[in-house]
Structure 1
């Protein structure tokens, strides 16, 4: 989902602790966007979302005793102007062995409307100490990805394509869900961590639902049970991230969420293997007026 990345590095845009978990078959071959008959365009809602974080479960060798924090995502743009996203994630983890760790991550990205160009900048403060910023650009062609880093030092790297940026990946997920597809494998680059990592991802998509979310009956994700979101179709998605490689691999991170047809996400759960965190959508501000496909 736009805004949520793998690195809680101790901190959507931000936790990266390696995950354990049960070994799964890694995605076989990345899937490029469909080239057949054009489906109805996916229009991502311009919105600001606030998720309050809390500990869901913990175990293993790096047990976390408590977790709290907040993710704020501000998403703007369309397929003509491109997409701008600002994310801030503040997370505090407490452990009897390692003590308390607090991370404050701020991430800003711009993605071209056709998903071919990408700019990213991330600033992280860990326990009050700022880390070196990550700043760079990337270009995605049909056959390859090229990344140019400005900070922490000038560097270039490439990857055989196709590779999707976050907003295009989100739109591709929604297209797959609408078409009744149950899985989607893709290479994804979001500029997270050190700005060098390209992830193999595998999404498992459940059946479409319309109406109250699975969290109804509780106070969780209340903005999604109220108009105008109450009638928007959505699908449960489990999205696993893998480091590059071949054969059977264990995901380093798994993100579970309800994916709405307009790109908003609910029922958020971030699983790092040794512990998992849930995100409660406490506030959702949608731009006024119906979102429409742009006219170039």
Structure 2
């Protein structure tokens, strides 16, 4: 059973071959990406819980908290910090407690990316991860890891970084697109893993959000869409995704109503606190 740290991908959009393509309406163009509203600097807290469970591998209960901060601009770059604490109660044995802290910075042009992941407690991962990634003018991506051990990796051309991917998802939704496929690298898991992602975008919704934290004036006129992203391990050839993440995505990058489906069980991440921070507009 995979450790439920993939909510980190939700915040980065958790955030979904080496290509970017929207089906039916065509991929979001550079102009369409530029036309979306600026991503909002914000602090968000999500309550994690077990929504559904079936099968022998499913836990009996999950309790946790995810704290997420996002700041920056297209000129200065984007900084993200995330802290996730999770207590998972298996059907047999003692509860397993873990904590993950992630920090990343992505350049405004998405050519450079820095990432650091630290884990504590019960975790089957490789431990702390620290590295940088660079995208050339031709789109080739190279990764330089410092932890868990010094290593250099070349990724296929066309791989997206998290904020770059988020912008393309929003731009595709705004343009009326329903499907987006993309290869995404965020430095999680082993620091070397690429996820092939399939994003399915629903119809724009104006239904008032259930969470009190999302019922703020600043979001009342912001468009949002239900989104489901399937994450596939790019190194595997089978057709089953590692997990499917669904949520409501606002045009300014804020997310609510997170749901993470591992097959045997589904986790919920409900927005309990949201604070918008001052934007840092580009200087002339």
Equivalent position of 2:129 in the other structure: 134
Query: What is the CA deviation profile of residues 110-130 of structure 1, one whole-angstrom value per residue up to 9, with x for unaligned ones?
Result: 000011100000100024999
Q: Does the 8 Å CA contact 2:106/2:113 hold for their aligned counterparts?
A: yes
Compared CA separation, residues 69 and 34, structure 1 to 2 (3 A): same
Correspondent of 1:76 among 71, 75, 86: 71
User: SS where residue 169 of structure 1 aligns?
Assistant: helix
Count of residues in Structure 1 that have an aligned counterpart in Structure 2: 271
Compared CA separation, residues 235 and 263, structure 1 to 2 (3 A): same
More helix by share: 2
Q: Does the 8 Å CA contact 1:199/1:244 hold for their aligned counterparts?
A: yes
For 1:108 and 1:163, the matched residues in 2 are separated by 20
Structure 2 unaligned residues grouped into runs of 5+: 11-16, 22-26
Correspondent of 1:267 among 257, 264, 275: 257
User: SS where residue 13 of structure 1 aligns?
Assistant: helix
Equivalent position of 2:82 in the other structure: 87
The yes-or-no answer on 1:198 pairing with 2:194 is yes
Cα distance, 1:224 vs structure 2: 1.3
Say what the alpha-carbon RMSD is for the aligned residues: 2.6
The within-5 A match list for 1:236-247 is: 236-244=226-234
Structure 1 unaligned residues grouped into runs of 5+: 1-6, 16-26
Equivalent position of 2:219 in the other structure: 229
Query: What is the CA deviation profile of residues 146-198 of structure 1, one whole-angstrom value per residue up to 9, with x for unaligned ones?
Result: 11100110011111110111111111110000000000000000111110101
Cα distance, 1:62 vs structure 2: 0.6
Equivalent position of 1:116 in the other structure: 111
For 1:241 and 1:117, the matched residues in 2 are separated by 23
Compared CA separation, residues 195 and 131, structure 1 to 2 (3 A): closer
User: SS where residue 239 of structure 1 aligns?
Assistant: strand
User: SS where residue 181 of structure 1 aligns?
Assistant: coil
Q: Does the 8 Å CA contact 1:14/1:105 hold for their aligned counterparts?
A: no
Q: Does the 8 Å CA contact 2:61/2:88 hold for their aligned counterparts?
A: yes
Equivalent position of 1:20 in the other structure: none
